[in-house]
Amino acid sequence: MSKLRFKVVEEAFHKKPVDVPSPNQRPSEYFAKYVFNREKMFKYLSSKVYNKLVDVIDNGAALDRSIANEVANGMKKWAVELGVTHYTHWFQPLTEGTAEKHDAFVEHDGKGGMLEEFSGKLLVQQESDGSSFPNGGIRNTFEARGYSAWDPSSPVFIVDDTLCIPTIFIAYTGEALDYKAPLLRSLQAVNKAALDVMQYFDSSVKKIITYLGWEQEYFLVDEGLYAARPDLLLTGRTLMGHEASKNQQLEDHYFGAIPARVAAFMKDLEIQSLELGIPVKTRHNEVAPNQFELAPIYEECNLAVDHNMLVMSLMRKIARNHGFRVLLHEKPFKGINGSGKHNNWSLGTDNGTLLMAPGKTSEDNLRFITFVVNSLMAVYHHNGLLKASIMSATNAHRLGAHEAPPAIISSFLGSHLSRVLDHLEESTENDLSSLDGKQALHLDIPQIPELFIDNTDRNRTSPFAFTGNRFEFRAPGSEANCASAMIVLNSAMAEQLTTFKKDVDEMIAKGETKVSAIIAVLRRYVKECKPIRFDGNGYSEEWKQEAQRRGLDCETSCPVIFDNYLKPESINMFESTGVMTRKELEARNEVKWEMYTKKIQIEARVLGDLVMNHVVPVAISYQGRLIDNAYKMKSLFSEEEAHALSAENLTLIKEIAQHTAFIKEHVDKMIEARKVANRITNIRSRAIAYHDNIAPMLEEIREHIDQLELIVDDQMWTLPKYRELLFIR
């Protein structure tokens, strides 16, 4: 091992963990300590303003700007008592991260001094530079104005000395430049559509709530080793590195004892998360070495998305306090599991009913089947769009490999629920002839009353699996914003439920009873969406061929997959539900193609630099030693003896020459390919060129680098290897 690498590895492995504070109170006592929740609202606001604000949060009432000043004063008083000096509008631009600009609570007092001030105007709205964030051409560089606007449904919170106000972010011309604005629109759309359908089953329901429970997978690496790997530092993944002799093949890391240093990090993360109102519950070792998972109790979708973005930010900060760096890239290490972010999605009512959970009566179970089948229809009609919502340059490395779901969207229901739907599909019209509204509890679907939660196995290869009372969308990537997938899923569900209501009402208008109309429409839907149901092995070649025959989207090119956003049926869905306009969709696709190109471009540049500054010089230096040894052997032994004794060295010399020649030649080709691609003016075509011509070169060059890593003297190799990166000491 080189002296430089040895020093880095030694320091990383012997770094002492940072002490984590142990609170004297139970978690329930300090939960949401730094959140302006209802308890704080009630304390710092008048009852009149409190009631108005709660009405905005619970019922979507319009925000009365007349109460903004008192709300702002209450927030400021609470925050100042906790040592806060600044405030910021916290939003989620199209960068997969968050953004914030901090302003102090200060204004001139007119007497040569300063006073602390935070008005309702500053709470509700702020102006930001709209051109410096990804906008897909909506805004010119000289048209900089954008606005952030307060989202009262997500509570204000404190981080360090700053009051953070969750907001949407829109252009001066009104188009959304973030994830939150269309997410809120999609939640409103699915609430309206699902509420209309729920009137068939329970007219007392006034609101439909979309729930999300995310499961965040991540890797930890020692900070010193991370700093010694420029590829990790600049791209989030290792662009080279031969797999370690031992990785995950013994299956000994999954659910294993959590290393002490990692446990200290997790404890610190949990404490700070709970203080910020994030209901974290589960932590464990994941399958790959150095891979872990954090999961909260499910929450309302908008709040869950905000909390996930906040957790990822906390992870990055807290990891450094413990001598780690957190890796949220979907595939930081080749040859082992990547990291996903499973999105557990469901719908519920304001009276506590989960719409995708079986009930105790036949009527409850008809409601259950109604929402499950409509979910399947939504996924079936927009399976390509759902895939586009989770696709990225980084997630493309993960999908279809090492337990990650394949890049074909299908749904697993399990044998029991599948039998129920098959029975519904095969039953005859005569089965319904004696039914009327009063016989709703005696449907001729005998399996329905027998449904139970969690009475089905799990399928890890299914991208969209039913898991008892919800669907688990397993395809989103670790570093992605959950909102991207939720926007599409909610919009598709809203459109589908609207269609279902129309179809049922048409049959009722023709004289059918409510129950018979619902069952007849569901039977038709079950037949129509059957291609999306698949309970087998999603990795098999047979499934890929079968999925093609079923008409499912089997495209694998990331830039081409993004085309699904601009298909007529997608534009119609987004516009009819009021979630996004054609202009917004076109702009977002521009951002997606541009982001894809830039990420591959950066990886190619980093790999080229590493090759010329680390790999090739070290390989040639070691080759020189071997050549020198071969010449010395000739001076000591006869030609025949020297040849025999140095045969292995000669073989290595030749192998090194072949590998370095290939690497140098293909790095030059990659540079030329980038120049050609960069001259392409159409952003979609440029992204496709990077996908087709440049991304494959990265893997070709890597193969030869990894072979050199096995050949070159370990003492000379400058970059930390997988066996050092993947095992925390």
Condensed to tens digits (0 to 9), the pLDDT of residues 491-503 reads 999 999 999 999 9
Q: Does the pLDDT value for residue 431 go beyond 70?
A: no
Q: What mean pLDDT is predicted for residues 478-484?
A: 96
**pLDDT grade, residue 444 (50/70/90)?**
very low
Q: What mean pLDDT is predicted for residues 426-437?
A: 46
- Model pLDDT, residue 449: 43
Look-up of token digits 């869905």:
573
- Model pLDDT, residue 22: 54
- Model pLDDT, residue 144: 64
* 242 vs 728: which has the higher pLDDT: 242
- How far is C-alpha 63 from the chain's CA centre? 31
- Model pLDDT, residue 695: 97
User: How do residues 525-546 score in pLDDT, each as one tens digit?
Assistant: 999 999 999 988 888 889 989 9
Phi and psi at residue 686, to the nearest 5°: -65, -40
Q: Does the pLDDT value for residue 309 go beyond 80?
A: yes
Give me 141's structure tokens.
């560089």
Q: Does the pLDDT value for residue 273 go beyond 70?
A: yes
Q: Does the pLDDT value for residue 161 go beyond 60?
A: yes
DSSP notation for 251-267: --STT-PPPHHHHHHHH
**pLDDT grade, residue 3 (50/70/90)?**
low
Determine the residue type at 79. A
Determine the residue type at 557. S
Determine the residue type at 152. P
- Model pLDDT, residue 461: 73
* 26 vs 191: which has the higher pLDDT: 191
Half-sphere exposure of 462 (CA within 13 A, CB side): 20
Instruction: Tell me if 528 sits within 8 A of 503, measured CB to CB.
Output: no
- How far is C-alpha 36 from the chain's CA centre? 27
Pairwise CA distance, residues 31 & 39, whole Å: 12
- Model pLDDT, residue 50: 95
Q: What mean pLDDT is predicted for residues 335-346?
A: 95
Which residues are CB-neighbours of 726 under 8 A, at least 6 positions away? 244, 247, 288, 289, 290, 333, 336
**CA distances in angstroms from 304 to 192, 267, 308, 311, listed in the order given:** 20, 21, 6, 10
Q: Does the pLDDT value for residue 650 go beyond 50?
A: yes
User: How do residues 212-255 score in pLDDT, each as one tens digit?
Assistant: 999 999 999 999 999 999 999 999 999 999 999 888 888 888 88
**pLDDT grade, residue 64 (50/70/90)?**
confident
- Model pLDDT, residue 450: 46
Q: What mean pLDDT is predicted for residues 58-86?
A: 91
Q: Does the pLDDT value for residue 338 go beyond 60?
A: yes
> Pairing state of beta strands 107-108 and 114-115?
antiparallel
Greatest pairwise CA separation for the chain in angstroms? 105
Residue 19: Cβ-neighbour burial (10 angstroms; 0-12, 13-18, 19+):
exposed
Which residues are CB-neighbours of 574 under 8 A, at least 6 positions away? 491, 580, 581, 585
Pairwise CA distance, residues 680 & 141, whole Å: 21
Lowest mean pLDDT across 97-111, 381-395, 652-666: 97-111
Look-up of token digits 């040895």:
6
- Model pLDDT, residue 60: 82
What is the separation, in whole angstroms, between the first and last Cα of the chain? 18
Pairwise CA distance, residues 454 & 356, whole Å: 12
Q: What mean pLDDT is predicted for residues 41-62?
A: 92
Residue 245: Cβ-neighbour burial (10 angstroms; 0-12, 13-18, 19+):
exposed
Sign of CA dihedral 291, 296, 298, 302: negative
Pairwise CA distance, residues 60 & 62, whole Å: 6
Give me 569's structure tokens.
């049926």
Q: What mean pLDDT is predicted for residues 261-283?
A: 96
Q: What mean pLDDT is predicted for residues 502-520?
A: 94
Pairwise CA distance, residues 720 & 222, whole Å: 11
> Pairing state of beta strands 299-300 and 208-222?
antiparallel
Which residues are CB-neighbours of 260 under 8 A, at least 6 positions away? 17
DSSP state letter for 402: T
DSSP state letter for 340: B
Q: Does the pLDDT value for residue 437 go beyond 70?
A: no
Pairwise CA distance, residues 258 & 370, whole Å: 43
- Model pLDDT, residue 415: 84
Q: Does the pLDDT value for residue 470 go beyond 70?
A: yes
Rg of the chain in Å (alpha carbons): 29
User: How do residues 665-685 score in pLDDT, each as one tens digit?
Assistant: 999 999 999 999 999 999 999
DSSP state letter for 68: H
Interaxial angle between packed helices 514-528 and 482-509, expressed in degrees from 0 to 180 and rounded to the nearest 10: 130
Average pLDDT of the chain is 89
Q: Does the pLDDT value for residue 16 go beyond 80?
A: no
DSSP state letter for 382: T
Determine the residue type at 722. Y
User: How do residues 110-157 score in pLDDT, each as one tens digit?
Assistant: 788 877 889 999 999 988 776 678 777 776 655 667 889 999 999 999
Residue 342 parent element (H or E): strand 341-349
- Model pLDDT, residue 135: 78
Calculate what percentage of the chain has a pLDDT beyond 70.
90
- How far is C-alpha 17 from the chain's CA centre? 29
